[in-house]
Structure 1
Amino acid sequence: MLAVLGACSGDDSTTINIEAPSNNGGGNSGGGDSGGGDSGGDSGGETPAECPEGTTEVSEGLCELPATVDSDLTLTAGVSYLMTDRVTVGNGNGQLETNGDGTLDDGSAVQAVTLTIEAGVEVRGKTGTFANLLITRGSKIMAMGTADAPIVFSSDDDGYDGSGEWGGLIIHGYAPHNECAVGGSYCDIDSEGESGFAGGYDPDDSSGVLRYVVVAEGGYEFSTGNEINGISLVGVGSGTEMDYIQVHGNSDDGIEFYGGNVNLKHGVFTNNNDDSVDWDEGYQGNLQYIIVKQGASKGEAFEMDTEGSSEGFLSKPTLANVTVVAEKVADRADYSLNFKKRSGGFFHNTIVTVSPDSETVLTTCVNVDGSGSEGLVGSALVLNNWIQDCASGAGDRGTLANVSGLDNGTINAVAAQLDNNFASQASAAVLSSPIDWDAVNSAFSESVADASYLDATSYIGAVNPDGSDVWWAGWTVEGSVGNPTVPEATCPAGTETLDSGLCLLPATVDADLTLNGGVDYLMEGRVTVGNGNDQLETNGDGTLPDGSAVSNVTLTIEAGVNVYGKTGTFANLLITRGSKIMAKGTKSAPIVFSSDDEGLDGSGEWGGLIIHGFAPHNECAEGGSYCDIDSEGESGFAGGYDPDDSSGVLNYVVVAEGGYEFSTGNEINGISLVGVGSGTEMDYIQVHGNSDDGIEFYGGN
């Protein structure tokens, strides 16, 4: 929680507090029609609480807010609240530069008013009006909802399925803005929605707390072509706490940052009609765990610029763990994110995918405008650890960007595979190690990531693939997140679609192959990846007997995939030396090898998993260059002299029911590792019900 700060000048100090509700009335908020019902007004048949002093009762259980809040006010639970026009908290939206002494132009002091809103309260804007809540600089909002009782701002009609029915939430602060004069003492930025002046020189300024807050149905058109954002943040500082925030169904942008450096965790932006997230005018905060699920939008998932001063400091926030499901109405631009007008930005651990309902055919993740942003690529405009699934067509992962230089080797063009938790079950979503924010700041000269604020996650996307923290569930508008409808998964190129719906693996895999999720796979015999199981000692130069080179083939298996060996056969998977298996399951979606009958209660029903490597084996001659160890299960040759050799990754892998007797008295192990080196990662492995050994290590380390 943020500390409450006093006024910047003068003695007039006012605070509005929004507190948690008592247990005797507050209703079932839960995001309103998101399974929460009515909050505040419905008190289970009991008499509603009284309207707090400073508000006016307009009907039983409904209290109207005043146009101006100039002393501390708490919106208690047990009743709901109505705004019929703008409600202005404090007076800090007046001009400060006129007198140059921190007073307003009329000589009065800036007030420090706190508006407190208790958990479970609903604040309603009168439908069809510009009703909005404005927190001016120097004052605060303390809106601390809970997962069970979020605070909900919406129009005053039933449900949360409207758009443009009322205004929105506007917060001003004293934080920097790139139109403020360099070295000044006071700054007046003319702000969004005709809301007066904001901005200053205090990056640590606090405008209060927003926690478990839903803003729905806003964006009223207050003049022709001008709507208000769901949440507008003008010069808001990092002392402000924002956590668990949803903006839903806004007719303009979901949230927009005008300068400042406020941070936000756990943001959900759904069904907004223009851009979901927008920043400009020098915004440099940190955003983590962000879900953007567009509806029939005319804008982008993210629109980014440094509009304001052409010479002022850049917008270059840091984002991590972002999931975007893009969707647009017809005849819009074919990209999902747009950098324009000299904007930077750092997107780490990000998924961009496309809704099948998009009327515009999307082809590209990121558009980089030539008017200043292109020159920032690699320094202030960076994409790191991405799942690129940006095209509307089934099986098409799209183009990363319209400019070169953004693919730094951490971009994975694979299916997003969002599950019901809105987490990716693509194997690429699980990283080998957590992100190191200090290293990020060292690697990219313009990065200003706050290592003390950002979590060091080891996965891509807004939600952990292991299902341990479905943080958006229960408090957001019902049905607004969920699992998007995606095209049915198909067998990847290089496999054969069987009548059963399974994908048949070829006998030889001689080019990189990804076994994507959503379908399962069948082996009818041995499946050999690469050719490194042939002899290397014959020629003595590292080539195979026919003079060909050892191939480097990678078999990638995405989380949740089942690979079946045909029951009653020697079906097995062989990874030869020089090639790799990248089988990265997760706790909630392990990769399972078994026979193709039901259940996992058999034994000896198929072969198993054999992995070769170039690591030492004690039958290899000392001081040699090449070594050929005749290997388990008639699988050819393995071994070498590289203790650090890598044969890939096995994480959360189950091998069950194997050990088929391929000749009298000879069965195959569940997992056989022949000359496998320490560069290979094995973690969370089970071998179950094998008719021979569970796992056997033949040399290696």
Structure 2
Amino acid sequence: MTAASVTASSVTYNATVAGSPATVTGGGSATVTVTYTAAAPTTGTLTVNVTGLPAGVNGAVTVTGPNNYNQTLTATSTATVASGSYTVTAAQVTNNNVRYTGTVTGSPATVTAGATTTASVAYAVAANPTVTLSGSIAANRTLTADTNYVLRGFVYVNSGATLTVNAGTKIVGDSTALGSALFILRGARIMANGTEAAPIVFTSQRSAGNRSPGDWGGLIIVGNARNNRTGNIIVEGSDGSVVGANPAGVVYTGGSNDADNSGTLRYVRVEFAGYATLPDAELNSFTFAAVGSGTTFEYLQSVSGLDDSFEWFGGTVDGKYLISYESGDDHFDTSEGYRGRNQFLIAYQSTYITPRAGAGAVSADPQGFEVDGCNGGGCTAPAGGNAQSSGAADGLWNMNVMANYTLIGVGGTQTTPANGGVGVVLRRGTGGYYVNGVIARWPRQAISMRDSTTNNRFLVDSLIFKSNYLADNGLQNGGVVFDPTGTNFGQQSAFTARGQTNEVAATSVTAASLFAALPAGSATTTGANFDWSPAASSPIATGGLSTFANDPRIAARAGTFIAPTAYRGAAAPGGAKWWANWTNYARN
């Protein structure tokens, strides 16, 4: 007789047979006894605890041991294994551009029969390596979110090269080299495609709470589109004393391709930028010099810049979803024959900023929009005529389209710089179309037309300002909204006479009452506190120019890029909060 071993409740029982073989004779009997006894264990239990990763993120843990044992674990696990020594290793994992490194304790783990042994893997956010960018980038290069980048001095992306910047990448300006900036030169491209969840951020090298406007220079893109100045005109501030600067500066005039493509900026923030050590030689947060319409600009934000937040020098590039929170000069500045179209813009000013020592001074005339036909040497824009034409060899008109903008000033409680505090300044022969906007809380006035050459554009309907809502303006200037009576142009009556109707609210209507959430000016305000949607029953939820069919000039310039809306301002009633999740608010 034989008896096999049996297993019950993970315990093996071995059989011992007594009395076998048994001999049985006639009429007799024999007894065979089978006795089962628990076998000594040959296996034990190994538990590997995995901690430190966000919910839903898998670890990458490998366990190896006797008899070619090899298992991959993604989370805490317990297994029955043969006795022996086991090695536990952990590979780095990445989630949303954040790297996690695992630290292993209890390895090698010795498993003994019948016992439980534990090893642990503790994941933690890994420090990114740091790479310094300096000089010229002459070949294609990609910047990734798992590396920290430092701009030292002027960094040039040369013609023919493409700089790709992955979503979530952070680039800082060297805090020891004031004015450090990134130049995308004519013929080069930048492909910076961030996302709402992982924007690309250009910012100060200094820690939060210690940052200042002017901690670094800014982002400059030079295209090959036309503008209305002749000669070798250089980008303002590009010939300065910054480390690595070309003493001759960067020329942006002389372009000939209005459809030029300088790349893509999407979900990009520029924070604490600017450099303004000399008048008219300032670096801005975003500088777009002769950039063509083949370029894509969407979801861009400037935060606490020393000079202009966005400045266009000629060119034709279009843009949507542009935000400026706190600026040392103008929030949006166009000049020199800029003919691009922009829709959904927000400017918010609650204080007059203090720049970093040594980076220059803030402007004496900060405005919401500052729009110039042309200024400086080499201007070729003619003084009269119809700006609707595409332009001739003797000059191009400044004919930007701005639609659905929300411009909020500091109000009446702070001392305004001598020539600043105006929502929209139009001067030096500019044309352009301004529709469906909100201009509120500007201390000096809402709209100012500064000269007769600009009035000429207005008189031939090449400067149109229609279906805007103006409230809470002129608080430091006797309630003035348009240019006062007694000047030759710019009064509200002149706009009305030309069919350019705009709603001017009573003084009892405050800027804050127009929106779902407009925080009081405070250094502790965060980006999450802003909701630019119209408040319930807000007058800006209606009154917009909902069709361009009745104005062929606007329709021709708007094309399919600018959509007419029944509301005014940068946000649709009940619509998507397009500024949420990717923007920031900070003063330091």
Q: TM-score range by the shorter chain?
A: 0.5 to 0.7
Amino acid at match of 2:428: K
- Whether the 8 Å CA contact 2:338–2:398 is kept in 1: the answer is yes
Superposition deviation, residue 222 in structure 1: 4.8
2:190 aligned with 1:144: no
Structure 2 partner of 1:387: 469
Q: Secondary structure at the match of 1:301?
A: strand
Q: 2:539 aligns with which of 420, 428, 431?
A: 428
C-alpha distance in 1, partners of 2:312/2:516?
A: 30
Structure 2 partner of 1:114: 162
Q: 1:460 aligns with which of 568, 574, 587?
A: 568
Q: Secondary structure at the match of 2:456?
A: helix
Q: Secondary structure at the match of 1:271?
A: strand
Q: Secondary structure at the match of 1:152?
A: strand
Amino acid at match of 1:125: G
- Whether the 8 Å CA contact 2:368–2:422 is kept in 1: the answer is no
Structure 2 partner of 1:412: 503
Q: Secondary structure at the match of 1:249?
A: strand
Q: 2:181 aligns with which of 128, 132, 137?
A: 132
Q: 1:166 aligns with which of 216, 223, 236?
A: 216
Amino acid at match of 2:184: I
Structure 1 partner of 2:423: 336
Q: Secondary structure at the match of 1:429?
A: helix
C-alpha distance in 1, partners of 2:543/2:322?
A: 26
Structure 2 partner of 1:300: 367
2:408 aligned with 1:325: yes
Amino acid at match of 1:85: G
Provide, for residues 435-480 of structure 1, a one-character-per-residue CA deviation record: whole Å limited to 9, x for no partner. Answer: 334543x156xx75232211232210001122x2111111111468
More moved, 200-209 vs 382-391: 382-391
**Equivalent residues in 2 for 1:446-457 (5 A)?**
449-457=557-565
Amino acid at match of 2:310: I
Where structure 1 has 5 or more consecutive residues not aligned to the other structure, the ranges are: 1-21, 29-43, 49-59, 91-110, 181-186, 356-360, 481-701
Structure 2 partner of 1:473: 580
- Whether the 8 Å CA contact 1:177–1:283 is kept in 2: the answer is yes
Amino acid at match of 1:197: V
C-alpha distance in 2, partners of 1:343/1:325?
A: 23
Provide, for residues 125-152 of structure 1, a one-character-per-residue CA deviation record: whole Å limited to 9, x for no partner. Answer: 0125121000011110000001111001
2:397 aligned with 1:353: no
More moved, 411-420 vs 228-237: 411-420
C-alpha distance in 1, partners of 2:569/2:233?
A: 35
Amino acid at match of 2:462: A
Residues 223, 373 of structure 1: alpha-carbon distance in 2 compared, 3 angstrom cutoff: closer
More moved, 415-424 vs 300-309: 415-424
Residues 304, 260 of structure 1: alpha-carbon distance in 2 compared, 3 angstrom cutoff: same
Residues 462, 397 of structure 1: alpha-carbon distance in 2 compared, 3 angstrom cutoff: farther
Residues 310, 452 of structure 1: alpha-carbon distance in 2 compared, 3 angstrom cutoff: closer
Q: Secondary structure at the match of 1:342?
A: coil
Residues 145, 371 of structure 1: alpha-carbon distance in 2 compared, 3 angstrom cutoff: same
Structure 2 partner of 1:196: 250
Residues 432, 193 of structure 1: alpha-carbon distance in 2 compared, 3 angstrom cutoff: closer
Provide, for residues 52-100 of structure 1, a one-character-per-residue CA deviation record: whole Å limited to 9, x for no partner. Answer: xxxxxxxx5211113110000000111110011111001xxxxxxxxxx
- Whether the 8 Å CA contact 2:325–2:347 is kept in 1: the answer is yes
Provide, for residues 637-669 of structure 1, a one-character-per-residue CA deviation record: whole Å limited to 9, x for no partner. Answer: xxxxxxxxxxxxxxxxxxxxxxxxxxxxxxxxx
Superposition deviation, residue 23 in structure 1: 4.5
Q: Secondary structure at the match of 1:373?
A: helix
Superposition deviation, residue 387 in structure 1: 0.7
2:245 aligned with 1:177: no
C-alpha distance in 1, partners of 2:267/2:586?
A: 17
**Equivalent residues in 2 for 1:508-519 (5 A)?**
none
Q: Secondary structure at the match of 1:423?
A: strand
Superposition deviation, residue 390 in structure 1: 4.3
2:331 aligned with 1:276: yes
Superposition deviation, residue 188 in structure 1: 4.8
- Whether the 8 Å CA contact 2:474–2:481 is kept in 1: the answer is no
2:323 aligned with 1:232: no
CA RMSD of aligned residues (A): 2.6
C-alpha distance in 2, partners of 1:142/1:382?
A: 34
- Whether the 8 Å CA contact 1:290–1:322 is kept in 2: the answer is yes
Length, aligned pairs only? 396
- Whether the 8 Å CA contact 1:133–1:169 is kept in 2: the answer is yes
Residues 443, 261 of structure 1: alpha-carbon distance in 2 compared, 3 angstrom cutoff: closer
Structure 1 partner of 2:397: 314
User: Which 4+ runs in 1 deviate beyond 4 A?
Assistant: 222-225
Structure 2 partner of 1:86: 154
Provide, for residues 559-593 of structure 1, a one-character-per-residue CA deviation record: whole Å limited to 9, x for no partner. Answer: xxxxxxxxxxxxxxxxxxxxxxxxxxxxxxxxxxx
Residues 135, 406 of structure 1: alpha-carbon distance in 2 compared, 3 angstrom cutoff: same
Question: Identity across aligned pairs (percent)?
Answer: 27
Q: 1:255 aligns with which of 284, 295, 310?
A: 310
C-alpha distance in 1, partners of 2:451/2:171?
A: 43
Superposition deviation, residue 25 in structure 1: 6.2
Superposition deviation, residue 223 in structure 1: 4.6
- Whether the 8 Å CA contact 2:467–2:544 is kept in 1: the answer is no
Superposition deviation, residue 393 in structure 1: 4.4
Provide, for residues 249-286 of structure 1, a one-character-per-residue CA deviation record: whole Å limited to 9, x for no partner. Answer: 11111111000011110000111111111111100100
Amino acid at match of 2:504: A
Provide, for residues 35-57 of structure 1, a one-character-per-residue CA deviation record: whole Å limited to 9, x for no partner. Answer: xxxxxxxxx83545xxxxxxxxx
Q: Secondary structure at the match of 1:372?
A: helix
C-alpha distance in 1, partners of 2:323/2:222?
A: 21
2:289 aligned with 1:241: no
- Structure number with the bigger relative contact order (C-alpha 8 A, sep ≥ 6) is 2
C-alpha distance in 1, partners of 2:213/2:553?
A: 43
**Equivalent residues in 2 for 1:486-501 (5 A)?**
none
Structure 2 partner of 1:375: 456
Amino acid at match of 1:142: M
**Equivalent residues in 2 for 1:54-73 (5 A)?**
61-73=129-141
Provide, for residues 503-525 of structure 1, a one-character-per-residue CA deviation record: whole Å limited to 9, x for no partner. Answer: xxxxxxxxxxxxxxxxxxxxxxx
Residues 275, 384 of structure 1: alpha-carbon distance in 2 compared, 3 angstrom cutoff: same
Provide, for residues 522-579 of structure 1, a one-character-per-residue CA deviation record: whole Å limited to 9, x for no partner. Answer: xxxxxxxxxxxxxxxxxxxxxxxxxxxxxxxxxxxxxxxxxxxxxxxxxxxxxxxxxx
Which structure has the larger Rg?
Answer: 2
**Equivalent residues in 2 for 1:544-693 (5 A)?**
none
Amino acid at match of 1:287: N
Superposition deviation, residue 325 in structure 1: 0.5
User: Going by fraction, where is strand more abundant, 1 or 2?
Assistant: 2
- Whether the 8 Å CA contact 2:196–2:267 is kept in 1: the answer is yes
C-alpha distance in 2, partners of 1:336/1:220?
A: 24
C-alpha distance in 2, partners of 1:456/1:149?
A: 30
Amino acid at match of 1:330: T
- Whether the 8 Å CA contact 1:281–1:309 is kept in 2: the answer is no
